[in-house]
């Protein structure tokens, strides 16, 4: 039952989230141009009802049809929902947002079953005729069904739900919903709750009163801010304390609430802080009749305030501050008490978070690494989360910045798990979403992770797509070797750097890098031939004047230790149509050289550093940049 509810809630969220931009546009039109808006304009305000009663339901129904029936489902979903809209008398009735959540998937299901039935039975030459007429005729029939039955029925359901919310509001019981909202958020049902349940009810209220408190129940950034402030100012663990300020920026300004969930999982009793903080905020908002004009998505303070009526901005700020202050005041002493007894580390909490997501789908926890087939052919990596607007966006941005210098040929984007493009080579998803990802992109290689910000599988993926090899295991036979490996440091020394070299051929440059690796004791001489063989498969030129030659996977047995060497060719070495001024030779065991590779990538972010590195004769400066 729990898994069924989660899947249902996520499906509702998946219909609404891709269309949040339209909700925001409608919210701004409402906030700006209605008679009591910021800049009243009767003509522009007339856009409001058309968006609410037609554009938004059609977008939701089309998305719902697409999720079930693909592109044909999108079209028939849009047709079908018009029947439900007309069935409640268009702009004279109720907004059919919840009706769209029924009509769209229903229409998508019908066309999907029709296509399955016709598969292999369609007369040659009649495909276009049958495809077009089937969508039109079936769409018309479902629209008629919506007009007479589904539209009026959903209007009655919405009226009951709205009346229930009003009863809770009038009885001052609405604040108690925070008891369920905050724990549900930590269980990753935040999008399903906010956009699958609260947004449709909020739209109904806003259509009548111009604002709704329903938009504020889940999206308030104050409760999570209080938790993060408690860790920043009160934690004794340096790593956790240092991570909190960055998390505050991402949560409060970026609106990605998932960033604070692991901090609660470290000490679950801290959930009391955001619960009480949100109760106080909802009570305050309810007491002063505060609401937003449209949905706040993401839950950023910027989005929160942008949707506030002009005469209630101060009250909204007070409510957010109240939630943060109370959450902080309760979380801080709990944090001190639990840390004194020895709580979980942030890393452990992130692992638990991954396990919780896996448990919700009945699958195993994420593996630490994933082997990518033929990493040299990877051109598009997609980070996908449930909605495609929160954690996956952050993960894609971080990974894109991480690899852009060494693999500029790879496109890294984010999307929702149900909309992964067909030309995706690698899909990076949380383990809980693996099944949906496989259905969405059956031909892509799947990398499952527990956290988009820091996960061993992402490190392995980075190694593979930047070195174009599969990761290898480190075999330690001598205890003294174990101590050296534990240090995990691949250091550049003057012996590993050659500057001001005269131009040579690509093969000579690769051989020279291999000879430096041999001289450093990192590889056997046969590794040089493996480097030349590797270059024949795919060029190791990475762009921006950088080449990173290395041996093949089969040559890993000739690697004695991890090492990186650098040769500078100010006039450049021809790597195909491009010139490389810096040639980094690599030999790696496991991921010991990953830190130095990342440092090289960091240097490439600074064009001034990169250009100086191509011409300088200061070895000490180069070592400093790569240390």
- Which residues are designated catalytic? 385, 550
Task: Kindly give the pairing relationship between strand 563-575 and strand 497-498.
Answer: parallel
Count of residues making up the chain: 627
CB contact set of 224 (below 8 Å; sequence gap of 6+): 251, 252, 257, 260, 274, 327
Write out the two tokens for 447: 């990398």
Any idea what the Cα angle at residue 395 is, between residues 393 and 398, rounded to 5°?
110
440-467 per-residue burial string, b: 16 or more CB within 10 A, e: under 16: bbeebbbbbbbbbbebbbbbbbbbbbbb
> 547 - beta bridge partners?
541, 583
Smallest CA-to-CA distance from 32 within 42, 19, 23, 21 is with 42
Smallest CA-to-CA distance from 250 within 531, 453, 550, 399 is with 453
| C-alpha to C-alpha distance for 401 and 503, rounded to whole angstroms | 31
Residue 359 has a CB neighbour count (10 Å cut-off) of: 15
CB contact set of 544 (below 8 Å; sequence gap of 6+): 405, 408, 604, 610
Say if residue 45 is exposed, middle or buried (CB neighbours under 10 Å; 0-12, 13-18, 19+): middle
Q: Are 516 and 496 in contact (CB under 8 A)?
A: yes
| C-alpha to C-alpha distance for 405 and 403, rounded to whole angstroms | 6
Residue 189, φ and ψ in degrees, nearest 5: -110, 20
DSSP-derived 3-state class of residue 561: coil
What secondary structure, in 3-state letters, does 184-240 show? HHHCCCHHHHHHHHHHHHHHHHHHHHCCEHHHHCCCCCHHHHHHHHHHHHHCCCHHH
Smallest CA-to-CA distance from 112 within 60, 72, 83 is with 72
Write out the two tokens for 240: 């956790």
| C-alpha to C-alpha distance for 26 and 49, rounded to whole angstroms | 9
Residue 412, φ and ψ in degrees, nearest 5: -120, 120
Q: Judge if the upstream peptide bond of residue 381 is cis by omega within 30 degrees of 0.
A: no
Provide the angle, in degrees to the nearest 10, between the axes of the packed helices 272-287 and 222-234: 140
Write out the two tokens for 121: 């039975």
What secondary structure, in 3-state letters, does 104-128 show? HHHHHHHHHHHHHHHCCCCCCCCHH
């Amino acid at each position: 039952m729990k898994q069924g509810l989660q899947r249902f809630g996520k499906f509702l969220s998946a219909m609404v989230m891709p269309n949040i931009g339209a909700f925001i546009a409608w919210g701004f039109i409402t906030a700006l141009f209605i008679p009591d808006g910021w800049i009243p304009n009767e003509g522009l305000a007339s856009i409001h009802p058309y968006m609410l009663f037609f554009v938004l339901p059609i977008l939701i129904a089309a998305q719902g049809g697409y999720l079930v029936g693909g592109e044909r489902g999108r079209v028939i979903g849009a047709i079908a929902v018009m029947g439900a809209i007309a069935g409640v008398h268009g702009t004279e009735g109720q907004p059919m947002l919840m009706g769209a959540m029924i009509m769209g998937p229903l229409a998508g299901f019908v066309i999907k079953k029709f296509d399955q039935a016709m598969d292999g039975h369609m007369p040659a030459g009649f495909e276009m005729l049958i495809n077009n007429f089937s969508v039109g005729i079936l769409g018309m029939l479902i629209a008629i069904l919506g007009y007479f039955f589904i539209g009026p029925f959903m209007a009655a359901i919405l009226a009951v739900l709205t009346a229930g919310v009003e009863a809770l509001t009038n009885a001052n019981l609405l604040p108690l919903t925070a008891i369920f909202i905050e724990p549900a958020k930590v269980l990753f049902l935040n999008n399903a709750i906010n956009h699958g349940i609260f947004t449709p009810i909020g739209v109904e209220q806003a259509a009548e009163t111009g604002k709704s408190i329903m938009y504020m129940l889940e999206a308030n950034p104050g409760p999570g801010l209080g938790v993060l402030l408690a860790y920043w100012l009160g934690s004794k663990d340096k790593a956790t304390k240092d991570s909190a300020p960055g998390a505050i920026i991402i949560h409060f300004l970026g609106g990605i609430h998932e960033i604070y969930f692991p901090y609660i999982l470290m000490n679950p009793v801290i959930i009391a802080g955001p619960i009480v903080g949100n109760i106080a905020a909802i009570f305050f908002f309810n007491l002063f009749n505060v609401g937003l004009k449209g949905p706040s998505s993401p839950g950023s303070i910027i989005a929160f305030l942008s949707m506030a009526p002009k005469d209630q901005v101060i009250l909204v700020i007070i409510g957010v501050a109240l939630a943060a202050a109370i959450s902080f005041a309760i979380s801080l002493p709990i944090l001190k008490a639990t840390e004194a007894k020895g709580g979980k580390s942030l890393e452990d909490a992130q692992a638990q978070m991954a396990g919780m997501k896996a448990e919700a789908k009945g699958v195993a926890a994420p593996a630490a690494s994933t082997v990518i087939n033929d990493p040299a052919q990877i051109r598009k990596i997609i980070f996908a989360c449930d909605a495609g607007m929160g954690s996956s966006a952050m993960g894609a941005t971080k990974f894109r910045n991480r690899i852009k210098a060494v693999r500029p040929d790879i496109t890294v984007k984010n999307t929702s798990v149900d909309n992964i493009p067909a030309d995706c080579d690698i899909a990076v998803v949380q383990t809980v979403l693996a099944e949906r990802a496989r259905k969405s992109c059956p031909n892509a290689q799947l990398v499952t992770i527990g956290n988009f910000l820091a996960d061993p599988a992402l490190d392995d993926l980075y190694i593979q797509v930047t070195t174009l090899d599969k990761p290898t295991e480190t075999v330690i036979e001598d205890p003294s070797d174990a101590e050296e490996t534990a240090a995990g440091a691949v250091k550049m020394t003057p012996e590993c750097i050659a500057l001001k070299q005269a131009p040579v051929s690509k093969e000579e440059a690769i051989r020279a890098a291999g000879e430096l690796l041999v001289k450093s004791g990192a590889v056997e001489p046969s590794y040089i031939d493996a480097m030349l063989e590797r270059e024949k498969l795919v060029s190791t030129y990475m762009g921006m004047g950088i080449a990173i030659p290395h041996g093949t996977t089969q040559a890993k047995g000739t690697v004695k230790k991890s090492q990186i060497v650098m040769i500078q060719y100010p006039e450049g070495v021809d790597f195909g149509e491009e010139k490389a001024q810096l040639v980094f030779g690599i030999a790696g065991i496991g991921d010991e050289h990953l830190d130095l590779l990342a440092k090289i990538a960091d240097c490439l972010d600074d064009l001034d550093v990169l250009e100086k590195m191509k011409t300088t004769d200061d070895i000490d400066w180069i070592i400093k940049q790569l240390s």
